Chains A and B, each alone.
Chain A
Amino acid sequence: MKPKVREKKELSRRKFLKCTGTIVFAMGSSGYLLSGCGVKEEELGIAVSDGYLVVDVEKCQGCISCMLACSLVHEGTQSISLSRIQILQDSFGKFPDDLTIEQCRQCEAPACVEACPEDALTANAKFGNVRMVDKEKCTGCGSCFVACPFTPARLSVMEDSAFNNELKSLKCDLCANTPHHWDEKGGGPDGLQACVEVCPVGAIAFTGKLPAQEGNSGYKVNLRDKNWAKLGYRNS
């Protein structure tokens, strides 16, 4: 598979205008702003996810094993472009800004779900309302990619060999739909996530508690304990 997406610029503008309108509406109706584009939950009627990934960017050693595990269990191949979690590094940078982990937030108000014109991206009740792509319905239009308000977008659109190399959206499903999952019970909020399990230093964790949606503090957390400090790294 080769990753391809439609031009983001044009759709971004449409998305921006749409979100702007929503924000104005929300403020006027004294509703609270949700993450993503500020869409109110009751408007979307999307149940919150039963699970989330949180990460510690100061603990991460940049081995990208999480990315490789992600593509392995989902696609059966090794690829960093097909990974649903992305590690970005600057070898010459200053700690801790030399590295970041960008994972899907399973937003409380997911702009990607809202943007999908085919209802292919939904909160999947079978898997604890994880925001998941139904590839049978997905047309690879890229609306979800464009709608994601974060940089980089927490999903991508790639050619999928299982669908004659048609473009399909790729998105973190907490390993719910993983043909190559190693554990009999599989993944999802009630199972095991490949990135969490494989990380050598425990820089990625699963939580069932909805993280704070504003900013990054709910998703980028401190997972360092006293044993981490014993190795000579700060834990506070």
Chain B
Amino acid sequence: MNGYAGNILSINLSTRSITTIPTKKYEQWVGGHGMGSALFFDMVKDKTIDGFHPENVITLMSSPLCGTLVPSGAARTEVQGIGVQSLPIGWFTRSNFGGRFSSMLKYAGWDGIAIQGQADSRVWIDIRNDDVKIRECDDLNLWGTDTWECQKAIWKDVSGEGAYGDWIKINEKGDMTTQRPAVLAIGPAGENLSRMACLIHDAGNGAGQGGFGAVFGKKGLKAISVIGTGSIQVKDPKGLMTSRLWLKKKYSFSLKNLKINDFTFGFQSPPVPMTLYSGGKPRIGQRPQACVGCTAGCRGRYEDGIGNEAICFNSLFYLFGKTLLIQRQAADLLNRYGLNAAEMFVGELYLKKLRDLGFIGKEKAIDCPLDFNQYGELSFAEQLVKAISYRNDGKGNPHPFGDILAEGFVRAAEKWGRLQGEDSDLKTGLLKFPHWGLPMHKLERSQLDWGYGTILSDRDINEHCFDLLRAFPTYFKRSGQRLPPAEDIAQVITDKMEPFQGDKKMLDFSTENMYSEHIIKLVTWHRHYTRFWKQSAQLCDFRWPDFLNLYGPNKTGATGIAEQRFFNDVTGKGFTFLDGINLGKKIWNLDNAIWVLQGRHRDMVRFADYIYTNPGKTSSGYPQYMPGIKNGKWDYVVTSGRHFDQDRFEDFKTRFYRFQGWDEKTGCPTRKTLESLALEHVADELEKNEKIQIL
């Protein structure tokens, strides 16, 4: 099994059993998300349980590419299980983080970990190659530590005091490494079961979505540490090295021939090493820091050690922090206490609006202990983070504010009575949580792939595949730079979108086309591509897909050529690009079946009310532009300022379900479709639970 370690680690914390599942049993799913969904399906008999139920399974999966030389595709870990963050219920969901955890897991001999049960004491898992132990937190005083303190304590325990920097023995057999263990930990937010709690690895790799930090906390699991000294077999070593250098030469940034746009906020391709905070790039000594095997680090480490490895929402969280230093310190707070940066970012702005409107504060309608006089100072951010993490006033005193807010901003708004009647904050749009009780990311009424993809799945998809189609036209229009013809761009990209290649109108984001069959195909392709190539093979979202490339021939990227080339170099499976898309389709169907078994019906698949009434506006006030057809001609058209029409969206859903081969009335995958994907056992389960009609 080239690319695989060979075994999956299965740990039941209730019984404290440690067993092994041969990876071969799940090899048809390749790895990552596909393997995690299949494991979950088999291990969790009752899919209707709550995320906090002991029988909930959390899977942490690598892929055959993890720990190899595959560029920007060797470092992700896919996290799955029933989450506790979303509404109306915690969906079976996914998160993902980078760094070096999955590679280290494979070097230790494991393709993934499945964790079930609930410990009767607070524990951590210590993996040193094939030596796996469930250890007590008390031994190292881990419970109560923040995520960084926890990791350092475990480093010290595994590496031995003073030994780091040299070759160290990791076990009694004498297996040697120079590396520190890769540790995934929860902070106080997870310990205290905040639904916004995340998992943190190293300084800033976070699995933010789903509230898996709280699930760990409920299971009594503080951390998982892994260190490995083994090897991963590769089918074609020469081929892999050749492919890596091919991508470097043809499709990667070159310092000798630097081609960068001034605009580095979007996901340009190829990416260049970058770091970013809302206040700009810190002007102090720093390096770009990359995950294992990556070609372009996307976060920094700094000479003052503040803000290390913070990225995306994490680095933008405290938007109104008065100084860049405060913003960086605030980013560290999220990582240390283990809180989901996306929800904290959008939620913190909601609190500010409530305060500006006079609804929140001391002795206001919402009794809030936060000192808004300190807004912009670090002390405000710290009090907010601590209030949520410890469910108190943020200064160590009992207070319902933190306890309520720890449940998430939508649940808190409900508790505060702000979701009642026509003035509901989800009707006015004051509370920008447009889907599944989760925070807004991209303007869903503008970036249709993002909006539809999110509401038709389970979470903010956070997949930037087509984000460049918004980022560059929008910025270039503002700055007066010349754009390439929109039709040419649509042609280059859609040519790569097997099996729908060549349908340019998939990228017509005009209002006239926003409910069309072409957009259905766009959303479908996106679901299938990401389910396999990004979330199962685990190519990084920052680098892949590579549609347009400043260095590529005719500025065409490597997608459609590169993915399967690297995959086959490692595995020898002989996959085509379309094989991956088709497996993504199968995984997408399995996920949807699981959601139906959890209780999903098409009637639940709807945006928050304000999405159907309020025009989508950008925070900057400037319009967004995307490719589209205007008066019969391709151009870059304004896509912000519009809203979804509820009836037309419902019709879109009907046609979307039909296109998937699902029941239009319920949104449930049909037996016929599932059997065509060799998912008969899934159809049987749906039938047993009366979700599909018995023929």
- List A residues at the B interface (Cβ < 8 Å): 1-5, 8, 58-65, 68-69, 71-73, 75-82, 86, 88-96, 98-99, 102, 151-153, 156, 158, 180-182, 194, 197-198, 200-202, 225, 227-228, 230-234
A76 to B233 Cα, complex, angstroms: 7
Given A91-B308, A99-B287, A232-B281, A201–B292 Cβ distance below 8 Å? Answer: no
Cβ contacts under 8 Å, B303 to chain A: 94-96
Cβ contacts under 8 Å, A225 to chain B: 255
Q: When the two chains form the complex, which single residue of A60, A82, A99, A231 contacts B274, counting CB atoms closer than 8 Å? A: A231
A8 to B168 Cα, complex, angstroms: 11
Shortest A141–chain B CB gap in Å is 15
Shortest B408–chain A CB gap in Å is 28
Once the chains bind, are A63 and B232 in contact (CB under 8 Å)? no
- List B residues at the A interface (Cβ < 8 Å): 67-69, 71, 74, 100, 103, 107, 129, 148, 151-152, 164-167, 173-180, 202-204, 229-234, 237-238, 240-242, 244-245, 248, 252-253, 255-256, 258, 260, 272-275, 281, 285-297, 300-305, 308-309
A38 to B258 Cα, complex, angstroms: 44
Cβ contacts under 8 Å, B275 to chain A: 232
A92 to B154 Cα, complex, angstroms: 14
Once the chains bind, are B302 and A95 in contact (CB under 8 Å)? yes
Once the chains bind, are B287 and A81 in contact (CB under 8 Å)? no
The list of the 4 closest CB pairs from A to B, nearest first, reads A91-B202, A63-B290, A77-B231, A79-B231
A73 to B234 Cα, complex, angstroms: 11
A234 to B682 Cα, complex, angstroms: 56
Once the chains bind, are B258 and A227 in contact (CB under 8 Å)? yes
Once the chains bind, are B231 and A156 in contact (CB under 8 Å)? no
A180 to B152 Cα, complex, angstroms: 38
Excluding A79-B232, A233-B286, 16 further A-B contacts by CB distance (< 8 Å) are: A3-B176, A61-B289, A65-B294, A78-B69, A81-B107, A81-B230, A91-B309, A95-B301, A95-B302, A95-B303, A95-B305, A153-B167, A198-B241, A200-B296, A228-B255, A231-B274
Once the chains bind, are A5 and B167 in contact (CB under 8 Å)? yes
A74 to B308 Cα, complex, angstroms: 34
Q: When the two chains form the complex, which single residue of A4, A62, A181, A201 contacts B176, counting CB atoms closer than 8 Å? A: A4
Once the chains bind, are A63 and B248 in contact (CB under 8 Å)? no
Once the chains bind, are B238 and A180 in contact (CB under 8 Å)? yes
Cβ contacts under 8 Å, A95 to chain B: 285-287, 300-303, 305
A6 to B129 Cα, complex, angstroms: 19
* CB nearest neighbor in A for B297: A61
Once the chains bind, are B152 and A82 in contact (CB under 8 Å)? no
* CB nearest neighbor in B for A62: B289
Q: When the two chains form the complex, which single residue of B129, B179, B233, B253 contacts A88, counting CB atoms closer than 8 Å? A: B179
Once the chains bind, are A58 and B287 in contact (CB under 8 Å)? yes
A1 to B176 Cα, complex, angstroms: 11
- Chosen A-B contacts, 19 in total, with CB atoms closer than 8 Å, are A3-B167, A63-B293, A65-B244, A68-B293, A76-B234, A77-B231, A79-B232, A82-B231, A88-B164, A88-B179, A94-B304, A94-B305, A95-B285, A95-B305, A181-B241, A182-B241, A225-B255, A231-B258, A233-B288
Shortest A11–chain B CB gap in Å is 13
Once the chains bind, are A93 and B301 in contact (CB under 8 Å)? yes
Once the chains bind, are B175 and A4 in contact (CB under 8 Å)? yes
Shortest A198–chain B CB gap in Å is 6
Cβ contacts under 8 Å, B129 to chain A: 2
Once the chains bind, are B258 and A61 in contact (CB under 8 Å)? no
Q: When the two chains form the complex, which single residue of A58, A88, A181 contacts B238, counting CB atoms closer than 8 Å? A: A181
Cβ contacts under 8 Å, A72 to chain B: 69, 234, 237, 240-241
A32 to B473 Cα, complex, angstroms: 65
Cβ contacts under 8 Å, A152 to chain B: 165-167, 178
A67 to B293 Cα, complex, angstroms: 9
Shortest B31–chain A CB gap in Å is 15
* CB nearest neighbor in B for A88: B178
Shortest A3–chain B CB gap in Å is 4
Once the chains bind, are A4 and B174 in contact (CB under 8 Å)? yes
Most buried by A among B176, B177, B295: B176
A221 to B566 Cα, complex, angstroms: 33
